[in-house]
Amino acid sequence: MQLTIRMPEEQMTMIEHIAKKMELKKSDVTRIALKKFIEEYNESTEKPFTKVKHLLGIVESGIPDLGQRHRDYLIKKIKKVDK
């Protein structure tokens, strides 16, 4: 499939420079850039939970009931700091 785009001259100059440096065609450089943009866009549309779910449950606090009493522990910690 073919795509035609208009670009500012300075961006086109940069693409030409990169293509020459990497010994690629301008179209190859453009395809690589678009692929990277699409991958990053898809990652940015992920829900926050999806981005951090691999981290959940990997740290141990040593406090067995922290999940149930987190508010109590937080208030106790804040009161200690205020003193």
pLDDT in tens, 18-59: 999 999 999 999 999 999 999 888 877 778 888 788 888 777
25-to-9, 15, 30, 33, 76 alpha-carbon distances in Å:
17, 9, 9, 13, 63
Residue matched to tokens 């700091």: 81
> Residue 30: what pLDDT?
96
Cα distance between residue 7 and residue 25, in whole Å = 17
> Residue 49: what pLDDT?
84
pTM (global) more than 0.85: no
The number of beta carbons lying within 10 Å of the beta carbon of residue 28 is 13
